[in-house]
Structure 1
Amino acid sequence: MSTEATGSDSAVAPGKAGAAEHRAPSAARESAGLDTEHDIELVLAFLNTCDSETGTELLDDPVGWQQWCLERGLGRAPESTAARKVRDSLRTAVSCGGGPPRSELPADITETPGLPGWPVRVRIQGGVPVLTGTDALGSVLAAAARLVTTGHWDRLKICPAENCLWTFYDRSRNRSRTWCSMRVCGNREKARSWRERRTAT
């Protein structure tokens, strides 16, 4: 899978390079019509096509998976088995990045047997090279790659509540959010810990 790269102008006058480097990626993304919030929303929706709380698995339903892709304007829906392998791989990477891993992450996830590569392409949009997909799954992966290159990927986390496991985006300033919802999963964990402490005493 390719990634999108941006760079700064090496001819910028001394003392102004830092400011130019800070502005350039944002200006380039704007001219290319890229939307980070849309990328976050799309990737989260894909990672949450399995729901532990309700026990539902969208990728077990080829018709539902096709409808999911059409509703988001992603074009052709690839075979759902391949999509599930990619999604589960991404969720493993997110869980390893956001806290203790639930399973061992392979040393090189791209070499995992049975994990498909997926075609993406680079096109010029607004004078800027933009990574895009050739089908629905490629579009999701292109969005995920953009989140990596813009520093947003590490804010994706999976709620540690065993009956939840919902993927969410941590918007806290110091990236300290643990639960998808403190009012629901956080309070459940607090209550469980309190009961365990009372039982132990």
Structure 2
Amino acid sequence: MIASDDASLVVDFLNTVDIERGLDALADAAKWRQWTEERGLGADPLPFAREVRESLRAAVGDPHAEPARLTVPLAVELTTGRPALAATNAVAAVLAAAVRLTVRDDWERVKICLADDCRWAFFDQSRNRSRTWCSMRVCGNREKARAWRERRSPSNELPTDQPVDNSGSVDN
């Protein structure tokens, strides 16, 4: 399965914030305008874009994001003989893409990396939709190494100054 243009647009929008690097394309109007122009979209007001991003991140599982009830203008076109969502501004385009992903049953594939220091959005292309890391080579590997170190730490071993009873009997 290949990620669609809709998935790419939604994931790109969710990743306008980079937790690991401390960057945010919605931090100022110039960065936001650049992001929208690169995609051929009109820029919505910055506070509205931030609110929508926060709500979408919450909807796909970011534990640090807060959902909000949003009212967004979307248009429906009937030029091709079929109804289609249409949008002229960036936020409406992202939300129209999210709706199309939902209709195609692909919305659950948009996820947030479980690494708390990453939280990068990604589109899960695995057959069983079970991917949890944005990258197995980076975040997944880092988390597996951390878990292995925890299991091997001295605090997880039996104390050496205590006798071990391997007889299987229980004393009460």
1:89 paired to 2:89: no
When residues 122 and 46 of structure 1 are mapped into structure 2, their CA distance, relative to the original with a 3 A threshold, is same
- Give 2:6's aligned residue: 39
What TM-score comes out, normalization by structure 1 length?
0.72
Equivalent residue in structure 1 for 2:25, among 33, 37, 58: 58
Distance 1:39 1:179 in 2: 21
Distance 2:104 2:122 in 1: 17
Equivalent residue in structure 2 for 1:180, among 134, 138, 142: 134
Runs of 4+, deviation exceeding 3 Å: 103-106
Equivalent residue in structure 1 for 2:99, among 139, 142, 145: 145
- Give 2:46's aligned residue: 80
Corresponding letter in the other structure for 2:145: A
Identical-pair percentage: 52
Distance 1:88 1:169 in 2: 18
- Give 2:152's aligned residue: 198
Q: Is the CA contact (8 Å cut-off) linking 2:15 and 2:121 kept in structure 1?
A: yes
Unaligned runs of 5+ in 2: 158-172
What TM-score comes out, normalization by structure 2 length?
0.83
How many residues align structurally?
Answer: 153
Deviation at 1:39, TM superposition (A): 0.6
Deviation at 1:198, TM superposition (A): 1.5
CA RMSD of aligned residues (A): 1.7
Q: Please identify which structure carries the higher helix content.
A: 1
**Larger relative contact order (Cα-Cα within 8 Å, sequence gap ≥ 6):** 1
When residues 120 and 42 of structure 1 are mapped into structure 2, their CA distance, relative to the original with a 3 A threshold, is same
Other structure's SS at 1:59 match: coil
Structure showing greater radius of gyration is 2
Corresponding letter in the other structure for 2:133: W
Other structure's SS at 2:91 match: helix
